A and B are shown apart, each in its own frame.
Chain A
Amino acid sequence: MTEHSHLSDMELRVRSLESLLTDKGLVDPAALDAIVDTYENKVGPRNGARVVARAWVDGDYKQWLLRDATAAINSLGYVSTQGADIVVLENTDAVHNLTVCTLCSCYPWAVLGLPPAWYKSFPYRARAVKDPRGVLAEFGQILDDDVEVRVWDSTAEVRYLVLPQRPAGTDGLNEDELAGLVTRNSMIGTERLAGD
């Protein structure tokens, strides 16, 4: 299933609904514009990358993040969890974490923005819990047999964020530079960063 189908029909149907709701005084088009702008331009995986980079450079912050991610993330100020409860999962040499929502498409919007289409796709939702190593292989990630794969199915209002390992050879980088190395997929768990 692609996300491109029925484009013109859908455009007309949604415009018609929006004009009806506007006429009824139920929505304000300017507020809708602002919501779209927020998720297109302000909330996205850069937020999560800053959280990860801070954890890489500050051991106390990392421990707080693993203990109480919601508070630790809100403390940064530039990232708001907007009331969601977040749990951070630490990757190590021995453990790899992968997140999914098999029942719908729950995702940590506050720190990663809106999910990519593949995260919402039926094959990902169906297979991540049953064949995580096969799913990871489709993303080019082949894990050794002795690495424990932990799949987290987001069935409740708790959102999961993976803390990838800091890549080797990055000792000289500052926090901003480190944040630039953190990919969205590494925080979902479908990618291990170089040297991770």
Chain B
Amino acid sequence: MDGIHDMGGMDGFGAIPIEHDEPVFHAPWEGRVWALNTALGALGKWNIDAGRYTIELMDPALYLSSTYYQRWLFRTENMLVEHDMVSREEMETPPGERRVTSQGAPLTIAEILANRREERSARVDEDIPARFQAGDPIRARNIHPKGHTRIPRYVRGRKGVIDRDHGVFIFPDTNAVFAGKTPQHLYSVQFTAREIWGEEAAANDKVYVDMWDDYLEVPN
């Protein structure tokens, strides 16, 4: 979707907020949100692409006024409801007034860490032919998927060159809606800065974007 999250190339956000001696978490709740997301993700009810898509569906004004961990909390709450693990009513009821029953034993830290080691890689061990190889010229397709996609707006329709083939990976556009992994080759694609941003960009500069076969076409 052409959402607010697709920020590459936007102007108007001001200076970069560089902070010195920054703590890992700025408040305890941030660490708890991070940990909740990690522990719940290990249950395997959803995947990283579905999680990202949930954040992308935030109202744009809410997205812009939320901090990073507030967006993660939004994602966690929505995934829990969507997967019938928690109801909105339960979340809105004060802790002292709730009547809930345990659904079983939670994962231990050892189980969570083992899951992360096994599940995090999006690489797929399947022998699928590559449409392109390093050095091939390509054009990023001019597509505007309504759902989740990882082709940034700023490269669509632009010509580039395959820099390297990363191998076969899960395709996020379908995985985000549990419509299959659609495994295909993922490449790093090199674009000149001028192809994307015009003649004001530095002549030697490059932008590299990771792109799947379904995002690419043979240029005219």
Which residues of B have CB within 8 Å of A114? 24, 34
Q: Does residue A20 face the partner (Cβ distance < 8 Å to B)?
A: yes
Residue on A nearest B210 in the bound complex, by CB:
A156
Which residues of B have CB within 8 Å of A23? 98, 100, 102
Which of A6, A36, A117 has a CB less than 8 Å from the CB of B31? A36
- For the complex, what is the distance from the CA of A34 to the CA of B109, rounded to whole Å? 7
B100 near A6: Cβ-Cβ < 8 Å: no
B202 near A11: Cβ-Cβ < 8 Å: no
Q: Does residue A61 face the partner (Cβ distance < 8 Å to B)?
A: no
- For the complex, what is the distance from the CA of A128 to the CA of B76, rounded to whole Å? 28
Which residues of B have CB within 8 Å of A60? none
A104 near B22: Cβ-Cβ < 8 Å: no
Contact bitstring B21-32, A, C-beta under 8 A = 1, else 0 = 010111111111
Q: Does residue A26 face the partner (Cβ distance < 8 Å to B)?
A: yes
Give the distance to chain A from B215, nearest Cβ to Cβ, in Å: 9
Q: Does residue B134 face the partner (Cβ distance < 8 Å to A)?
A: no
Which residues of B have CB within 8 Å of A125? 7-8
Contact bitstring A136-177, B, C-beta under 8 A = 1, else 0 = 001100000111111111111110000000000000000000
B100 near A10: Cβ-Cβ < 8 Å: no
Interface members, chain B 205-220 (any A CB < 8 Å):
205-212
B24 near A27: Cβ-Cβ < 8 Å: no
Q: Does residue B195 face the partner (Cβ distance < 8 Å to A)?
A: no
Q: How many A-B residue pairs have CB under 8 A?
A: 268
Which residues of A have CB within 8 Å of B28? 11
Q: Does residue A76 face the partner (Cβ distance < 8 Å to B)?
A: no
Interface members, chain A 83-141 (any B CB < 8 Å):
83-85, 87, 102-105, 113-114, 116-118, 120-127, 129-130, 132-133, 135, 138-139
Given the interface pairs A25-B102, A31-B112, A35-B112, the reply to whether A151 lies near B16 with Cβ below 8 Å is: no
Which residues of A have CB within 8 Å of B196? 129-130
B207 near A35: Cβ-Cβ < 8 Å: no
Which residues of A have CB within 8 Å of B80? 21
Given the interface pairs A36-B34, A138-B16, A158-B186, the reply to whether A82 lies near B26 with Cβ below 8 Å is: no
Given the interface pairs A32-B39, A82-B116, A157-B121, the reply to whether A40 lies near B31 with Cβ below 8 Å is: yes
Which residues of A have CB within 8 Å of B116? 82-83
Which residues of B have CB within 8 Å of A133? 202, 205
Give the distance to chain B from A152, nearest Cβ to Cβ, in Å: 5
B64 near A122: Cβ-Cβ < 8 Å: yes
B64 near A158: Cβ-Cβ < 8 Å: no
Give the distance to chain A from B177, nearest Cβ to Cβ, in Å: 17
Q: Which of B36, B102, B106, B150 has the most chain A CB atoms closer than 10 A to its own CB?
A: B106
Which residues of A have CB within 8 Å of B31? 36, 39-40
Q: Does residue A30 face the partner (Cβ distance < 8 Å to B)?
A: yes
- For the complex, what is the distance from the CA of A82 to the CA of B118, rounded to whole Å? 8
Interface members, chain B 47-95 (any A CB < 8 Å):
48, 52, 55, 64-70, 73, 76-77, 80, 85-86, 90-91, 94-95
Q: List 16 A-B contacts (CB under 8 A).
A: A1-B67, A20-B100, A23-B98, A24-B102, A35-B112, A40-B24, A84-B121, A102-B6, A114-B34, A126-B10, A133-B205, A138-B15, A139-B16, A149-B206, A153-B208, A155-B209
A-B interface, 10 closest residue pairs, ranked by CB to CB distance from nearest = A102-B8, A25-B102, A83-B120, A157-B122, A156-B210, A123-B13, A35-B35, A32-B35, A83-B121, A14-B29
